[in-house]
Amino acid sequence: MLLNYFQQYLIGDGNDVSIESEKSERKKNQSVYMTKWIRTKHALMFRLNNKIVQVDFLDKTQLILCSDTRMVSYLDKKGVKRLLSLKDALKSADDEMNRRMRYTKDLVSNICIV
């Protein structure tokens, strides 16, 4: 949402305030908090009220899933961060990321059942 605002600002004259930027401003003022969490022997998973799921693996890798935008952020063992669409992440040739995606899927399934 914020990127959309800046894109509109840079493309236009910056004087127009769109409905989208007003929604973004309202969302920005809302607090983000954790609704559920799970700790396993391999990871910590946090589900936030804004529908973001963050999984911090004990080997310092990390997955962040955003259901609104259908984007995945992946931080690998070397500290390299990638931002992928969910579609591209599911088709990735990176075996490490694929294992973590499957593990995250299992965690999310379990936390939704509880």
In the chain, domain spans = 1-30, 32-113
Contact (Cβ atoms closer than 8 angstroms) between residue 21 and residue 5: yes
What would the mean pLDDT of 97-104 be, rounded to a whole number? 94
Which CATH fold topology does 32-113 show?
A: Arylsulfatase, C-terminal domain (3.30.1120)
pLDDT at 25: 60
User: What is the mean predicted confidence (pLDDT) over 60-71?
Assistant: 94
Contact 25, 31 (CB under 8 A): no
Measuring CA to CA, which residue among 63, 60, 49 is closest to residue 107? 63
The mean of the pLDDT values for the chain is: 82
More confident residue, 21 or 109: 109
Q: What is the mean pLDDT of residues 7-33?
A: 60
Answer yes or no: is pLDDT of 14 > 50: no
Which residue would you say has higher pLDDT here, 113 or 83? 83
**pLDDT of 27 over the 90 cut:** no
Token digits of residue 59: 């080997």
Average pLDDT of the segment spanning 35-57: 92
0.85 exceeded by pTM: no
Q: What is the CA radius of gyration of the chain?
A: 17
Residues 6+ apart with CB under 8 A from 60: 75, 77, 79
In this structure, the dihedral spanned by the alpha carbons of residues 14, 19, 25 and 31, taken in order and rounded to 10 degrees, is -160
Provide the 3-class DSSP secondary structure of residue 45.
strand
